[in-house]
Chains A and B, each alone.
Chain A
Amino acid sequence: MSNRISRRRWLASAPALGGLLLTGCTRETFVPPRVRGGLIGAADVLTMSTNRLLLSRQPLAREYSRTDVADPFPTWNQTNPRNEEYQRHASEGFRNWRLPITGLVARPRELSLDEIRSLPARTQITAHVCEQGWSAIGEWTGAPLQRVLEAAGGVTPAARYVVIDTFDRWYESYDLFEVEHPQTILAYGLNGRDLPRGNGAPLRLRVERQCGYKNLKFLKSIQVVDSIAGFGRGTGGTNSDFGFHWFAGV
């Protein structure tokens, strides 16, 4: 008898529990901005929604100890963008580099590297997990993306995605679920020193729950948008324009 009551109570509390778990979650949390066709598209949605359901309470990615750190941290792909503007900023020690934050924020503005450094910082020793199969642990220091957006007055209610452009001509978009995560930071420090050029100076993104290709280097600008249509081929990123998953949680 008591067994039946507890079961009934559990059943009654299940929807409430589900609601609690999914607080703050929207369609964007479970479905990529543009769903591909066929079996691959169906699998994309299944992978992303399963992942996000498990992550709905925003747990932190594993943080390691200082002894696990790879120093020097491996460099990969682009290590020095052949871009006139980037080279000029680099030669000036990024003193005149500014990060424009535009789009659906209350007060669009530009932030200098010093202004970003003066925001509340977070240091995390996490694994960079490349989709190719390699992984290395680094100590990243930076400002949470959420704090950076708040420095521009915060996102407006219509905001859905944050689009980031880089000096090596890449762009990627992130839904607000990823943006709000405490470990989603704009890192200017690696292993206790300034972020080296080979690892994305002056500023790179860390999204610890997604693969390497979502962790952009050499940041150029940030836009907050309600739709990713109109960027590149409209899939939400350079990688997904090439045919990768937009969501890189696996």
Chain B
Amino acid sequence: MILSVLRRGALFALCWRLAVECPSVTMDHTSTTELPRSAADTSTTVHSYNVRICHWVNVVACAYLLWSGVHIFLDFPELYWGHTGYRGYPAAFRLADWGLSWDEAGALGDRRWGRNYHFTFAWVFLINGLIYVAWNLYSTHFRNRMLPARDELTVAHVRAELRDQVRWRSRSHASGGSYGTLQKTSYLMLIFVYVPLMVVTGIAQSPGFTAAMPVLLDLFGGRQTARTLHTIGTVALVLFVTVHVLEVAAAGFFTKVRSMITGK
């Protein structure tokens, strides 16, 4: 209960900081080098209906997945490699080594509702993701906006983008909506590499799914390895979302969030 309030408070504080403080970072667009813009820039709608609906359903699903996943993890806050892992077995990670004792963690985590919400929103996430991918494979979204054009894959182009990235200058957003090569690549990797890996490491922990598909156990070398990778993947996603939100903030938080809601 207290944690839930704290979480909402922290989320609100983060949004507020990003909204109020970060736009100042975006002031300096002056030295941006001109780069060829792709054809998609000319479209008037920034985000299609499908992209917008799927994006926000995904935000809700991921928030629940993260929160319920933390609950499940806190109920057994140790990670292992291989097929076996239990209290007393050599661990790869123990939360107790980082200051939160077993009992303290257990008091915070509720695996019962953690599991209920995790599997519920795993379905929401999966179905939403399949609709998103199917729709955008059918439409030209992936091809036009996410597949880097040939001229965007040159060393010079990527180097210029990287340089701007490091100096915290957003080029693509300033140039009217098309994604940069780095952005395109990270979105494609996220959708077609990261998400399937999270789904597979998730079900590789299930006694039912692994009985049906024993290859899930061999793929990662054991359900404890799958659980550890699933947890590492969660941390990676949190980092990705942090960068994503910072990028949005850098490009103008309200404009970008509005365009993801209204499409304009």
Chain A interface residues toward B at CB < 8 A: 39-40, 42-44, 46-47, 51, 54-55, 59-62, 64, 68, 70, 74, 127, 129-137, 208-211, 242-245, 248-250
Contacts and interface: CB of A to CB of B under 8 A. Distances in A.
Contacts of B112: 242-244
Nearest to A211: B207
Most chain A beta-carbon neighbours within 10 Å: one of B84, B124, B207, B227: B207
B116 A51 contact: no
B214 A62 contact: yes
Contacts of B76: 130, 132-134
A10 B136 CA distance: 30
A133 B72 contact: yes
B153 to A, nearest CB: 37
B115 A249 contact: no
Interface of B: 72-73, 75-76, 78, 83-89, 111-113, 115-117, 119-120, 122-124, 203, 205-214, 217, 223-224, 227
21 contacts: A39-B120, A43-B122, A51-B206, A61-B207, A61-B211, A62-B214, A70-B84, A127-B207, A131-B111, A132-B72, A132-B75, A134-B76, A135-B86, A136-B89, A243-B113, A245-B115, A248-B207, A249-B206, A249-B208, A250-B203, A250-B207
A143 to B, nearest CB: 21
A133 B115 CA distance: 11
Contacts of B207: 61, 127, 129, 208-211, 248-250
B208 A250 contact: yes
Contact of A210 (B88, B115, B208): B208
A43 B209 contact: no
A106 B84 CA distance: 42
A134 B72 CA distance: 11
A132 B120 contact: no
A43 to B, nearest CB: 4
A64 B223 CA distance: 13
Given A40-B116, A245-B115, A134 B211 contact: no
Nearest to A58: B211
A85 B61 CA distance: 48
A55 B208 contact: yes
B185 to A, nearest CB: 33
B75 A51 contact: no
Nearest to A51: B208
Given A74-B86, A134-B85, A134-B87, A249 B75 contact: no
B213 A129 contact: no
A137 B84 contact: yes
Contacts of B227: 133
B239 to A, nearest CB: 22
B86 A209 contact: no
A47 B121 CA distance: 11
A51 B72 contact: no
Contacts of B78: 133-134
Pick the most buried of B76, B87, B120, B217: most chain A CB atoms within 10 A of its CB. B120
A132 B111 contact: yes
For the complex of A and B, list the 5 residue pairs with the smallest distance between their C-beta atoms, beginning with the closest: A249-B208, A54-B212, A133-B76, A43-B120, A134-B86
A60 B207 CA distance: 11
A210 B212 CA distance: 12
Contacts of B120: 39-40, 42-43
Given A51-B212, A55-B212, A127 B119 contact: no
Nearest to B203: A250
Given A133-B72, A135-B86, A250 B206 contact: yes
Contact of B209 (A40, A54, A130, A243): A54
A68 to B, nearest CB: 6
A127 B75 contact: no
Nearest to A38: B120
Contacts of B223: 127, 129, 135
A233 to B, nearest CB: 14
A101 to B, nearest CB: 26
A160 B122 CA distance: 30
Contacts of B206: 51, 129, 249-250
Contacts of B113: 243
Contacts of A42: 120, 123
A136 B223 CA distance: 10
B116 A243 contact: yes
Contacts of A210: 207-208
A139 B208 CA distance: 19
Given A245-B115, A245-B119, 13 more contacts: A39-B120, A59-B211, A62-B211, A62-B217, A74-B88, A129-B206, A133-B73, A135-B86, A137-B83, A208-B207, A210-B207, A249-B206, A250-B208
